[in-house]
A and B are shown apart, each in its own frame.
Chain A
Amino acid sequence: MQTQTLDVFQVIADPSRRQMMQMLSKDSMTINSLAENFDMSRPAVSKHIKIMYNAGFISIKDIGRERHCTLKQDGFNELQEFIDYFDKFWASKLKKLETLLNNKSKK
């Protein structure tokens, strides 16, 4: 099966994948038990798993004949980076605005 690499935003844009992550947030699950909750073929479920795995949202561990999926921090960190970036961005811009306004009132 061809592996698809999507960025974090594309990964969470899909409702099925978001649902899978929600289920995994409660506990790690095998691919089979995840698949039982979805009205899609087992290969389709595997494909979603692979996408989430590639983007760093989950890790997969083989235990016996079963593959166990667990949520992983990496994918989420990238989202956090995005938020941090803009938070700092606005703080620096507003600081600039403050300086401008204060200089203006001194004149």
Chain B
Amino acid sequence: MQKEIKQTWHFNQSPKEVWEYLTKPELIEQWLMKNDFKPVVGHKFCFTHAGKNKCNYDNTTYCEVLEVKPFTKLSYSWNGSTEDKSRNFNSTVVWTLAPKNNGTELQIQHNGFTVLEDVLNHTTGWDNCLQKFAEHINS
């Protein structure tokens, strides 16, 4: 079973250029979704999806900026629910940028769902994870 959502991508552009696409609302919209993002810790914003998706999630994802380190790291909470509001999910998206081979290595980690994994792993507890999650939120 897959343990986490983690992807690494390489782009030929500089971290500064990639960063713009992660932090400017009009640029984010071009590849992700409509949003009212601002690169300010504590800023609450939404992503709005167009149309339906397979898992029937609600069309709005509620987020709060958790960390902003220009050209290096960006994270926000990623919370939403299903259309019928029967199920909510909380998670955290973390972007990491590093210069590599005259370009940028961009990594995304979408965590918080990993609390689910702990039930299967039996190593660390759910409470540990929630605590970590809370630390992220509070930091």
Contact = CB atoms under 8 A, between A and B. Distances in A.
Interface residues of A, number: 31
Interface in B67-114: 86-89, 91, 106, 108, 110, 113
A85 B78 CA distance: 14
Contacts of B53: 85
A101 B1 CA distance: 33
Nearest 9 A-B pairs (CB), nearest first? A97-B31, A96-B31, A79-B116, A7-B87, A87-B5, A85-B55, A22-B122, A94-B9, A101-B13
Interface of B: 1-2, 4-5, 7, 9, 11-13, 17-18, 21, 30-32, 53-55, 86-89, 91, 106, 108, 110, 113, 116, 119-120, 122, 125-127
Interface of A: 7, 9-10, 12, 15, 18, 21-22, 25, 76, 79-87, 90-91, 93-94, 96-98, 100-102, 104-105
